[in-house]
Amino acid sequence: MNRKVTLVVPEAPTPAAGTLVGQRRIEKRGIRFGVLDNSKGNADHLLAMVIEGVRAALPLASVVSLRKDVVSLPAPKAILDRLAAEADFVVSAMAD
């Protein structure tokens, strides 16, 4: 299965290319999709719509949805480790 997914990073200037630390194979059973809610108001609603849209476009094997406790702090290592272990790609959202 070959599907093209375009990722948009809303940062300026464009970040320098990073080092590839590993590649993940997408299994035929589908993509393991991760979402990280930053705990701002309505982020959960936005992420639910993102999940619905991705599910309509791509086969998903699983969805792991985690939430940060504090908006102003980075996600704890345990959350990032779980997302890295359980997801092929992750979307993080904030809203208000």
- d(C-alpha 72, C-alpha 86), whole Å: 25
Position 67 scores a pLDDT of 93
- d(C-alpha 41, C-alpha 46), whole Å: 10
At which residue do the structure tokens 């035929």 appear? 28
pLDDT tens digits, 11-24: 666 556 666 666 66
pLDDT tens digits, 32-47: 999 999 888 888 888 9
Query: In this model, does residue 95 exceed pLDDT 90?
Result: no
Nearest to 95 by CA among 52, 47, 34: 47
Q: What percent of the chain has pLDDT over 70?
A: 75
Instruction: Quote the pTM value.
Output: 0.68
Ramachandran sector of residue 42 (left: φ over 0; alpha: ψ -120 to 50; beta: rest): left
Nearest to 92 by CA among 37, 10, 15: 37
User: For all residues of the chain together, what is the average pLDDT?
Assistant: 83
Position 64 scores a pLDDT of 96
